[in-house]
Amino acid sequence: MKSSRLFLAVVLGLALIPAFSYAQRLTPAQISALDNVYLDASEATGSSSAVVVGDSALVHTAQLLPLELDRVLHGRDAATQARKALELVGKALKTADTGLPQIAKLNVYLAGDEHKAAVQKVISETFSTDAKPAIAYVVGELPHPNAFVAMDAVATTSTPGSRNVLRFSSEAVYGNPEETHAAILPTGSKIYISGQAVRDRTLELSTRKTMEQLAGTLKHLGLDWENVVQVKSFLQPMTEVETARTEIKRFFGGHRTPPLVFVEWTSSTPIEIELIVAGGVAPLTSEPVEYITPPGMKASPVYCRVVRINFGKNVYISGLQGSVVSQPEAQVRNIFSDLEYLVRKCGSDMKNLVKATYYVTDDETSSQLNKLRPEFYDPARPPSASKAMVRSTGSEGSTISIDMIAATKR
């Protein structure tokens, strides 16, 4: 009996040697992506329908334009600019010990629909393996008047093992000293704060008052600006983006700001701002996903003010668009049908949706979205959300695109 057990141990040990040797050859970034699951990867688009990330820290980058260090625009066509934007995203990720192959989600901002085919081809060439990110597109004016494309990304990383938010700047990427190009959302609770907006007579005042309101939400959560991983703003006009940027920076008290993202929207409200925040280690008795309404705010059956993932993996869904483009109601129903299928396939469900971004191009589609969401969402567990009226979703005839993050069931 003893000899049999010894023989089995030797055989198992020998079997593990190749795997151990293989793991030793991997970089920390490669190890962080080993548990990622890429669903329905497409060679044509360079994307997956959904990506489930492993149990690792997540790096969020700033929105990056195809600019040289002196802020001169690189390239005069969309393909050249897309390559430069991806290069800069890679350099930003490198500061957090990761890179392009570990990207789980890529957000692409286009100046016009006509640029999508060229940009998509570059993305397909870049992500040539089965590890293709989930991708969402939106069209509108960019923070640089002559840029055709901008990008930001979320990638996995296994280092460093800090419990605090770490922010990084790359000397190889343009920017001001007080701005950062990437920030690490450490393992633990991940918090998604819905877009908030306080309307005032100018973009400057609206930004300031919205940030003050967000400060109150952070305080209710027992957190502060040092816990913020990314700030995303929907604003108009884009020609005044530097005004919003300056106001946002003021709230970080002279410290480096987290990565910033700016998206043009069409609205009578100058700006809406959402946050991604690190929530620390949750008690083991916590609910896997919490849906929170801070004091003084009204709960809604179709979106939640704050959603916190305590346990469970992030599921990133590529931007979903309806196939029946001529009918707004059919588009929305088709999207939610696809969403139900994808989240189930990823080990989640419609009761574990975390963060939605709705891009709509007309009032009728927006109304249909409002009308139909109660059919698909648990009124006690709707995702945090921002809805932006935009110029285009990036696909001809499509009047809505839904970009969703979910959490796997525990």
Q: What is the pLDDT of residues 390-408, one digit of tens each?
A: 999 999 889 999 999 999 9
Spatial strand order in the sheet of 271-280: 260-264, 228-235, 271-280, 189-196, 306-309, 289-292
Residue 224: per-residue pLDDT: 96
181 and 64 in contact (C-beta within 8 Å)? yes
In this prediction, residues 237-253 reach a mean pLDDT of: 96
Q: What is the pLDDT of residues 311-361, one digit of tens each?
A: 999 999 999 998 777 799 999 999 999 999 999 999 999 999 999 999 999
SS3 readout for 246-305: HHHHHCCCCCCECCEEEEECCCCCCEEEEEEEEEECCCCCCCCEEEECCCCCCCCCCCCC
Residue 325's pLDDT is what?
Answer: 74
**Do 276 and 214 contact (CB within 8 A), yes or no?**
no
Q: Is 400 helix (H, G, I), strand (E, B) or coil?
A: strand
The C-alpha atoms of residue 32 and residue 40 are separated, in whole angstroms, by 21
pLDDT tens for each residue of 71-116: 999 999 999 999 999 999 999 999 999 999 999 999 999 999 999 9
* CA dist., res. 399 & res. 187, Å (int): 36
Q: What is the pLDDT of residue 24?
A: 55
User: Cα dihedral sign for 302, 303, 307, 312?
Assistant: positive
Question: Residue for token digits 């916190």?
Answer: 308
CA distance 404 to 355: 6
Are 289 and 254 contacting, i.e. CB atoms less than 8 angstroms apart? no
Q: Which residues contact 139 (CB under 8 A, 6 or more apart)?
A: 109, 110, 111, 112, 113, 390, 391, 392, 393, 394
Q: Taking the mean position of all CA atoms in its chain, how far away is CA 204?
A: 25
Kindly give, in sequence order, each residue whose CB lies less than 8 Å from that of residue 194, ignoring residues fewer than 6 positions away.
274, 303, 304, 305, 306, 384, 385, 386
- The pLDDT value recorded for residue 4 is 45
Task: Give DSSP secondary structure letters for 337-355.
Answer: HHHHHHHHHTT--TTSEEE
Identify the CA nearest to 208 among candidates 218, 219, 196.
196
- pLDDT of 403: 97
Average of per-residue pLDDT across 114-129: 97
Question: Looking at the whole model, is its pTM more than 0.85?
Answer: yes
> Are 129 and 101 within 8 A, CB to CB?
yes
Q: Under a CB-based contact definition with an 8 Å cutoff, are residues 402 and 151 in contact?
A: no
Q: How, if at all, do strands 400-407 and 353-360 pair?
A: antiparallel
pLDDT at 285: 93
At residue 161, the pLDDT reads 63
Q: How far apart are CA 318 and CA 356, in angstroms?
A: 11
User: Three-state SS for 54?
Assistant: coil
